[in-house]
């Protein structure tokens, strides 16, 4: 029901930074916990980061801890993923997802998904 649209992907050199954005429709954005996931062809969808409805709790995959930061602005219906110190292994399609409930870290717990934005990190 809620629509999610990602933006901000692109090509970046290893060690560089990129900021992804996810715009959500509707007037009830604050009731959704939000997450970022990534996937490469032939691989399982991988959890990246999640944030609670109020923004007070965040979870990160071990592979991105210390490098990525998830945040949200409920007044603007926006979720962000700041990615620093990017590595070639970060190359993937990144999707934002919404869950009508509390924070979660598995794809199956999320109800709504964006179309994805490509992030490519060159060596």
> Residue 116 corresponds to which tokens in the numbers above?
């994805």
Q: CB within 8 A of 34, min separation 6: which ones? A: 22, 24, 50, 51, 70, 72, 79, 96, 97, 98, 99
Instruction: Tell me which residue of 65, 61, 53, 47 sits closest to 24, measured CA to CA.
Output: 53
Each residue's pLDDT tens digit, 107-116? 999 999 999 9
Instruction: Tell me which residue of 55, 56, 78 sits closest to 4, measured CA to CA.
Output: 78
> Residue 4 corresponds to which tokens in the numbers above?
């999610």
> Residue 114 corresponds to which tokens in the numbers above?
């964006």
Each residue's pLDDT tens digit, 1-40? 899 999 999 999 999 999 999 999 977 899 999 999 999 9
pLDDT of residue 44: 95
């Amino acid at each position: 029901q809620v629509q999610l649209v990602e933006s901000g992907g692109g090509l970046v050199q290893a060690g560089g930074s990129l900021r992804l954005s996810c715009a959500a429709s509707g007037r009830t954005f604050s009731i959704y916990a939000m997450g970022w996931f990534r996937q490469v062809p032939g691989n399982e969808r991988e959890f990246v980061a999640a944030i609670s409805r109020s923004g007070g709790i965040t979870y990160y995959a071990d592979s991105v801890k210390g490098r990525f930061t998830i945040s949200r602005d409920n007044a603007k219906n926006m979720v962000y993923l700041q990615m620093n110190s990017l590595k070639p292994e970060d190359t993937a399609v990144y999707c934002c997802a919404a869950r009508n409930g509390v924070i979660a870290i598995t794809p199956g717990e999320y109800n709504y998904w964006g179309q994805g934005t490509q992030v490519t990190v060159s060596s």
